[in-house]
């Protein structure tokens, strides 16, 4: 199993931000409005984990 980690600048990448928000909502979590950056984990081009940094 190979996970790919990517850094996402949430303010610049709206489609990816929306995908992260949908992923978090599936797990009863939410993405705060002031989050600027996220680290995502992908497996077979599917989002499987993330962490965000608010600034």
For the stretch 6-45, pLDDT in tens is: 999 999 999 999 999 999 999 999 998 889 999 999 999 9
The pLDDT score that the predictor gives to residue 53 is 81
- Domain count across the chain: 1
Rounded to two decimals, the pTM is 0.82
The pLDDT score that the predictor gives to residue 54 is 80
Give the residue carrying structure tokens 């497996």: 43
Structural domain that includes position 10: 4-54
| Contact call for residues 37 and 31 (beta carbons, < 8 A) | no
The pLDDT score that the predictor gives to residue 33 is 87
Hey, CA dihedral for 34, 36, 37, 43, is it positive or negative?
positive
């Amino acid at each position: 199993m190979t996970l790919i980690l990517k850094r996402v600048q949430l303010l610049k990448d709206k489609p990816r931000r929306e995908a992260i928000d949908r992923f978090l909502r599936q797990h009863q979590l939410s993405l705060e409005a002031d989050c600027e950056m996220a680290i995502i984990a992908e497996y077979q081009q599917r989002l499987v984990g993330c962490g965000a940094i608010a600034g």
